[in-house]
Each structure stands twice: as structure tokens, then as C-alpha cells.
Amino acid sequence: MASVTTRLAALLISLSVVFSAASATDPTPTTAFDDVSSYFEGFKDHFRFLHTVVPTGEQAKDSQYLTEQMNAAVKQVEQFSATAVAKRLKDPPTDDCAKRALLLCEEVYKKAAEALKEGVESVSAGNFYKAMKKSRAFINNIDACDDSFGEFRNFGDWARGVGGDCLRRIDKYIWKP
């Protein structure tokens, strides 16, 4: 029974990784967007209504906050992976199937950290749309493991809280029709 549960956990993690990767892809071809973007560059004043109006000081504060929170979360994820996941991998009673699932978790946590690092770069560049996508990818990657390993749930809850807080701050800089 334990091996069936562990195999199901490994399957769920694998599927989560696939779905997370699929949701993190950008459907907009960059070359077409860049062409249109450069064309409209001269018309910025005429198209101000396309952007949410947020006071510059508030955006600077939010950018600073997001950068600090995201960088701190990256460090926490890397530390958690290096300690909790590594400890569980070295635990002698952990069977082979669980070890494979833990190795997937290790990979998924690395992807979560990478996504958030890219989110920080996007915030710094003022690309809040990309920062939103990377924050969502972070949350999706975190979800992949805490569903399979109960002892990872507290960490997952914390990470989702940080990711959700970042998304709420980013959201006000995303234009909505």
C-alpha cells in the first residue's frame, strides 16, 4: 500500500511539473510584440489610458517590497530544498519510489526559485506582466511537492502566502480591459 501511495505521489509531482511548465509559457510571440511595441513607442502619450495609473512613489515602494520579498523567498526555497528535502533523501527508511519523488521535488523547488529570480528581474525592468507569470509559476511549482509530502505543507502554505502577496501587489500594475 505504501509503494502505491508513493508511486501516486511521484505521478502527481510529474504531472504538476508538466502543467506548471505549460502555464508558464508565454503565448505571445516576442518578435511580433516587439515590432508592435516599437511602432507605438512614439505614441505613448496618446495611449496612456492603456496603463493603470499608479503614483510613481507607490510603484517604487511596491517594486522595492516585491524585490525584497521575492529575493527572501528564493533564499528560503533554496534553503528548504538543501535541508528538508536533502534530509528526507538521506533517511534510510525512504523507499526508492519516494526518493524519485523527492528528487523531482528538489528539481521543482529549483524551478520555483528560478521563476522567482526571473520575477525579480521583471519587476526591476517594470515588466509586471512577466513578474505576474513568474510568481504564478513559483506557486505552481511549490504546489507540486507539498501535495505529495505532508511534512512539506507548512512550507508550501508559507510560500503560497508570499507568492499570493506578491501577486496582489503586481496586479495593480497589470492593465485590465
Residue 111's CATH number: 1.20.140.40
Give tens-digit pLDDT for 32-81: 444 444 444 444 444 444 444 455 788 899 999 999 999 999 999 999 99
Our count of domains for the chain comes to 1
- Which band of pLDDT confidence, cut at 50, 70 and 90, is reported for residue 137? very high
**C-alpha angle 50-57-112 in degrees, rounded to nearest 5:** 75
Q: What is the span of the domain harbouring residue 76?
A: 2-19+62-171
User: Per the domain annotation, does 134 fall within a domain?
Assistant: yes
Kindly report, residue by residue over 94-134, the tens digit of the pLDDT: 889 989 999 999 999 999 999 999 999 999 999 999 999 99
Domain contains 75: yes
H helices of 81-152, in order, are 86-90, 96-125, 128-146
- Chain center to CA of 163: 7
